[in-house]
Structure 1
């Protein structure tokens, strides 16, 4: 039986980091299905989903956790069920605003109150143009809640 594992990785950024993880997965017959990774403030952070034969998953988990000795922190989650079918309509949001403390909380509260799920989110604070004020920029892939048919 195929098992899906989802894990996060955080480490000081350095060349070969992803290769090291990918090598362990490949050696044990695992399949790298999807990932999102980035360098943030000198740290490397990512989330990865892989598929592996169930009888090899414990061995893989042990190998990944052993990376802690090299400063690579892995947090594992098991997803035995595999990916689920998503409901609702896909939408994309690009936002630029003057930055201020709490802006992401305010934006996500509006989305949450309306039942919107965030599937992917990237944010940054960048210098503004003429006046140099900081600008908050966000790009998000969203899943809108399913729409119920109107009552008859």
Structure 2
């Protein structure tokens, strides 16, 4: 019987690591359903949703761990379906301490789930200092009010540039 698992992997960067992980999954009859892999400096982290025969899960995890990376797994419920509305929220502003915290607090107060977040700080004399730029992939329930969220975010700072789209 096939099951779905979420595998969390992270560790020091290794040459061809993603290729090796996918090959090991394929060799055991598994398939990657969804994945998010990120690299920062010489470190990587990934989430991989895998469908595989239940009797091969332990073998797969052992093979992943043999690569000297950190590995965690969770069995997923095959019957759960996400009925949320999905949006992309871009927020740009003059950089300051605590900006990510303030934005995530407003999202939490509005019952919004952060599915992924990517942020950068860009500096240069030609732009007048350091600028914070971000992309939040978010999901919300049926009662979500876009205008209310934007209004709430604008209370953080007057210089926020907010773009929210489906």
**TM norm. shorter chain > 0.5:** yes
- Structure 1's 131 and 89: CA in aligned 2 closer, same or farther, altered over 3 A? closer
TM normalised by structure 2 equals 0.78
Matched, 1:9 2:5: no
Take 2:82 and 2:124, find their aligned partners in 1: how far apart are those partners? 37
Matched, 1:74 2:71: yes
How far is the alpha carbon of 1:112 from its aligned partner? 0.5
Equivalent residue, structure 2, for 1:108: 104
Size of the alignment, in residue pairs?
144
Take 1:32 and 1:19, find their aligned partners in 2: how far apart are those partners? 12
List gaps (5 residues or longer) in structure 2.
Answer: 145-166
1:125–1:137 Cα contact (<8 Å) kept: yes
How far is the alpha carbon of 1:105 from its aligned partner? 0.8
How far is the alpha carbon of 1:121 from its aligned partner? 1.6
Matched, 1:143 2:139: yes
Take 1:65 and 1:78, find their aligned partners in 2: how far apart are those partners? 17
List gaps (5 residues or longer) in structure 1.
Answer: none
Cα deviation per residue 1:58-115 (whole Å; 9 max; x = unaligned)? 22122222222xxx22222222x13631233222111111111211110000000010
Deviation >6 Å, runs of 4+: none
Matched, 1:59 2:56: no
Of the structure 1 ranges 108-117 and 42-51, higher mean CA displacement relative to structure 2 is found in: 42-51
Take 1:118 and 1:129, find their aligned partners in 2: how far apart are those partners? 32
Equivalent residue, structure 2, for 1:45: 45
How far is the alpha carbon of 1:118 from its aligned partner? 1.3
How far is the alpha carbon of 1:38 from its aligned partner? 1.6
2:85–2:141 Cα contact (<8 Å) kept: yes
